[in-house]
Structure 1
């Protein structure tokens, strides 16, 4: 069963379906509010509403982080391409434009979202989760850092949920019938019997000739062809702080002295555990004062929190906020919490940017200094890094100064810095040795000052604390190779082309003879051609050439055709039989999977049409996006 599903998911039809699937409609939504402030500069305008550059930057950074996480080093390489980054930024802006258009449509529809839906949506946001679960401390801390109150954030979230529901409703109008998915699945499982004969171009290589005149004619016909790229050989000096780390020594005395002089660095700050009751609204302070009297009169703090706190998430736990150190909460809240003298004491009402709080201190973890044994490794690493950095900057200063003062040689600068001049052979830019294969190094190496003037480059920063200085020891400009240099190459290409033409002509003759009827066995023997019978092949067949398999499933029973293979050979394919596939109960799950994939394809197409329709009547202005990123 699982093998059938695996095979089904690899079929050519499923690959086509998956290839057509566009990313489903993604809303940056309210999460973008968690990434920074606003700006008056506009990146775009949608129906009179502005999209600020800060909004764009948040959306762009979100997308960049997502792609970095998914693609790792590959994305890092792409990110060095200015054109790619500009396209990515424009994509983020177009997504924001689409958001605004959908938001307008939602507003016109008058859609509403319940409080419970908002609460559930907030709980699901990854920004507020720790170990996969909603964390109220993180929720309040992030909102506070962004200057958002719970009520304001809830309204932002309400609009976002309404927008997403509207989009889901529009997209859900497209569906795929089980019979449609079944028909395509059955077609994908069909098998066929064929005969095929391959005429190999290699068999004709010794039967074709190429004259000197033909070689010269091909050379002359391509005046811009047969180019040799520019090449350079480098002398270079490389300096890296990481390489210097192994040359520095850190003693136990160094570690002990650092520990003594920087004991505050190893302090674990005091932590406090608190519970709170939050009151908001016009009469919030009065409610807080009344609740405080009830608690002072003996009423349980947790019971009051569950019944009256506006912060519903902590209220479920009797107001508990967990452990925190100073500086996490709103300033007023934080000050009041760390001013409480003893556990169990309740203070308030305390006014914060969220409202009025009653705060109960439920635990204290005093400040403590980590023992030297616990931090010895950390200190040693810090000291080694610091010494390596100091050594790096000392060597960098010497290298930079002397390489500039003596532009015709690297030897003196390298010697003064205690480094060695290294060398490369001639290489083209797209075939650079690994040791110097950094974009900035290659840019400098192939700059006019280095390749033509033969002077030292400036210091090249390839990453933090990793630099190069390069100079050209040899240079060859791009040039057209001589006829003599490319004669063998052209001769081989012409022979290959002629051999492929001969093979194709022979295959065409074979097809003509088959269509004419009659016994052609003697001719086949004379030509050294064999027909191969293949029974029960499927669309995923790996033994036959892809072009042969494709031809087998494009023709009707009894049909024949000539096909060109990817390697230059030619083949004649004849379909002998078509075997339909009869699905069983074991195929139900696979067909259901196909139905889902096909529906996703239609959903994405509906989304595209929906957005296109909104854009037809919208007034959208895109401003100049030239900016660093």
Structure 2
């Protein structure tokens, strides 16, 4: 079908005109737009409508995070279920309910809180200049690329902080008593002395002689287990800034121009090391108190002029700055804006030469006398030293621009010239790579490999790619990466004949029947032991606990702790499947290790966290019950877009 469209574009355009134009006359422009409108609502919360587009975006974000976390183990079918889709919608509804409650209570975040959040953001930190200031132009450019202004970004951070206040206050107020924490620890560390009697399936292998009919029956019942997956040999192209960067080679002139235009980036501002003596006078102090402090500072300055070599000793006695007085007034190295004394302090300090003493400098803290002990002049890194870093930056910038400029053209070319990827490879200077893939991700490849992308694999094994051998459409893998491929050879999934698999089938049947025999004998022996209380044949005793199972499987631990401890010894059995069957003799119940105050405090905190989460969920449920929530019938329709 797609091939027909490609080869008859003019005919298809004519047919579309014949269909669309008369349709406008019957339903009108508004009705026609509504017919194709894809932005239906999936829910409404207190009058606010959650659109299908918002839902689709949230679903895609979750799928992208799952792909990154699970890698080759990611399976779209696990997430594209009615239950998971409902969970996504419920989370969006709950987020809106919490937002409404935040607005109702008039919660907000202070400017200081927003500033702290911004400065702790790795994104903001990456934009810092060598002198610690933020590169505002780069900041605006990055935000503009995301369709935001600095003011909008600040507002979003403030809104996010405000929404966090309710959950944070509930979680921080949770409390658990030491008695409860101690009881839970005792249960977790309670030991049980057990002995095991194993009926290994391997011991029964020689006793099993399956018939031909049994082998055939097993093969017929498990045919799908023996299937070999379909494989496709493919050629593929990856378009990304990283790939494009390989073909970008800035000239020497480009590098030098960038260096000259951005010289401030390569300059380390000057620093001084200084000491000071502070005679404190608060900003809001009376005029009399300020005058008294100034007179005291003038006396100290006179003493320094008389004994300039004793600055440190005088500072220890006279300075009222508790942070530096004990160190002879030493403030260490600092640049402009790093000392709380303000501009007047900076101007005085950076105007002094080494070992020179200032006059009296007034700040909001009082009166300072400053001595500069070391001077580090500004240093500009030479071009030769930063040339490599500049080349990397320019290649990255040019490659990112080339990707932006090329993405649409690449997408169109691999679709329009569907019988070969070579034209696209030549135009965009991309390496044409080959691989063999199956419908499921390859665990041997990295989780981030484009060949493991489920949407990509689904397109590879579509009829258009396999039967018509057309290029697949360019798949957006996220992170500015597009991939297209073409199947050059295909082998369908197949189920080998019974004759070819007979030996493999025999081994599986023998293993299964041996496990069944072991389980049968084990269950029979358990019935006898529960009556006779025998002890022979058991392995040496082992002490296990919930926190330290000593290597026992979870099924065994569950059976051991479910066994009644009122009348010991007690026997219990566990079917271990292909491994066989095991009987456990529980001899004694023993207390765990002695409780220490540190362990009790840690346990109390852990239990409090669980309790806090429970309290938060109860609060959110109450908010949701109070909210006016309405669901629409377009959720299932929205599922069609999942994973796209």
Q: Which bin holds the TM-score, normalised by the shorter protein?
A: 0.5 to 0.7
Measure, in 2, the Cα distance between the counterparts of 1:146 and 1:417.
35
From 602, 618, 622, the counterpart of 1:613: 622
Specify whether residues 103 and 41 from structure 1 end up closer, same or farther in structure 2 by C-alpha distance, changes over 3 A only.
farther
Quote the Cα distance in structure 1 between the aligned partners of 2:518 and 2:89.
50
Residues 560 and 574 in structure 1, CA contact (< 8 A), matched pair in contact too: yes
Match of 2:487 among 460, 467, 471: 471
CA distance in 1, matches of 2:186, 2:255: 73
Task: Name the structure 2 match of 1:341.
Answer: none
**Among candidates 580, 583, 599, match of residue 569 of structure 1:** 580
**How many Å separate the matches in 1 of 2:598 and 2:215?**
60
The CA distance in 2 between the partners of 1:421 and 1:589, in whole Å, is: 61
Return the match for 2:608 from 588, 593, 599. 599
Give 1:196 deviation, angstroms: 1.3
**Aligned CA-pair RMSD:** 6.1
- Counterpart position of 2:316: none
Q: 1:248 to 1:496 in 2, by over 3 A?
A: same
CA distance in 2, matches of 1:373, 1:421: 36
What residue ranges of structure 1 are gaps of 5+ in the alignment? 1-39, 274-313, 324-366, 522-529
1:619 Cα offset (Å): 0.6
**Contact (CA 8 Å) 1:46, 1:100: kept in 2 or not?**
no
Partner of 1:541: 549
Q: How many residues are paired up?
A: 472
8 Å Cα contact 1:399/1:414 also seen in 2:
no
Partner of 2:590: 579
Residues 444 and 127 of structure 1: is their aligned pair in 2 closer, same or farther, counting only changes over 3 Å?
same
Partner residue, 1:512:
527
Cα distance, 1:518 vs structure 2? 8.0
Alpha-carbon offset, residue 243 of structure 1:
6.4
Q: Does 2:510 match 1:495? A: yes
* Partner secondary structure for residue 579 of structure 2: coil
DSSP 3-state at the match of 1:215: helix
Instruction: Pick the aligned partner of 2:499 from 484, 488, 495.
Output: 484
1:275-301 deviation digits (Å, cap 9, x = unpaired): xxxxxxxxxxxxxxxxxxxxxxxxxxx
5+ residue gaps, structure 2, are 1-38, 127-131, 270-336, 347-377
Correspondences of 1:242-281 after superposition (within 5 Å): 254-255=251-252, 257-258=253-254, 265-268=261-264
Q: Secondary structure at the match of 1:615?
A: helix
Relative to structure 1, the CA distance from residue 223 to residue 182 in structure 2 (aligned partners, 3 Å threshold; closer, same or farther) is same
Give, in angstroms, the shift of residue 92 of structure 1.
Answer: 5.5
Please identify, of 414-423 and 535-544, the stretch whose mean Cα deviation from structure 2 is larger: 414-423
2 CA distance for matches of 1:56 and 1:568? 47
User: Is the 2:72–2:443 contact (alpha carbons within 8 Å) kept by the matching residues of 1?
Assistant: no
Q: What's the CA shift for 1:208?
A: 0.8
Question: Residue 462 of structure 2 aligns with which residue?
Answer: 447
SS at match of 1:542: coil
Aligned to 2:326: none
Does structure 1 residue 230 correspond to structure 2 residue 245? no
Cα offset, 1:481, TM superposition: 3.7
Alpha-carbon distance, 1:571 to partner: 0.9
Shift of 1:442: 3.1
2:208 is aligned to 208
1:409-448 paired onto structure 2 within 5 Å: 424=435, 427=438, 429-431=440-442, 434=445, 437-439=451-453, 442-448=457-463
Separation of aligned partners in 1, 2:603 and 2:112: 31
Q: SS at the partner of 1:532?
A: coil
2:98–2:623 CA contact under 8 A, matched in 1: no
Q: Separation in 2 of the partners of 1:238 and 1:378?
A: 26
1:13-52 aligned at under 5 Å gives the runs: 45-48=44-47
Deviation at 1:119, TM superposition (A): 6.6
Q: Residue 30 of structure 1 corresponds to which residue in structure 2?
A: none
Q: CA deviation at 1:503?
A: 0.6
Is it true that 1:125 corresponds to 2:101 in the alignment? Answer: no
Judging changes above 3 Å, is the alpha-carbon distance between structure 1 residues 596 and 384 closer, same or farther for their aligned structure 2 residues?
Answer: closer
Distance 1:498 1:80 in 2: 33
Contact 2:259 2:383 in 1 (8 A): no
Alignment partners' CA distance in 1, 2:578 and 2:166: 52
The aligned counterpart of 2:6 is none
Instruction: List per-residue Cα deviations over 1:595-628 (Å, max 9, x = no partner).
Output: 2222222222222222222322321245768699
Q: Which stretch has the larger CA shift, 73-82 or 479-488?
A: 73-82
Contact 1:193/1:533 (8 A) holds in 2? no
Deviation per CA, 1:445-481, whole angstroms, max 9, x where unpaired?
Answer: 32323321235556777675875543322x2223444
CA distance in 2, matches of 1:43, 1:399: 31
- The 5 Å alignment of 1:305-384 reads 372-373=383-384, 375-381=386-392
Query: How big is the shift at 1:186?
Result: 1.7
> Does the residue aligned with 2:468 lie in a helix, a strand or coil?
coil
Give me the TM-score of the superposition, normalised by structure 1.
0.56
Aligned equivalents of 1:105, 1:552: Cα separation in 2: 53
Deviation track 1:62-108 (CA, whole Å, cap 9, x = no partner) reads: x989x97xx9942788999695797896466234223145337747x
**2-side partners of 1:618 and 1:391: how far apart?**
49
The TM-score, its normalising length taken from structure 2, stands at 0.55
What's the offset of the Cα at 1:573?
0.9
Contact 1:44/1:52 (<8 A) preserved: yes
User: How far apart, in 2, do the equivalents of 1:582 and 1:495 lie?
Assistant: 46
1:96 paired to 2:95: yes
CA gap 1:446/1:506 in 2 versus in 1, 3 angstroms: same
Indicate conservation of the 8 Å contact 1:563/1:572, yes or no: yes
Q: Deviations over 1:401-443 (max 9, x none)?
A: 7997693x77899899999876555755444885872536534
1:545 CA displacement: 4.3
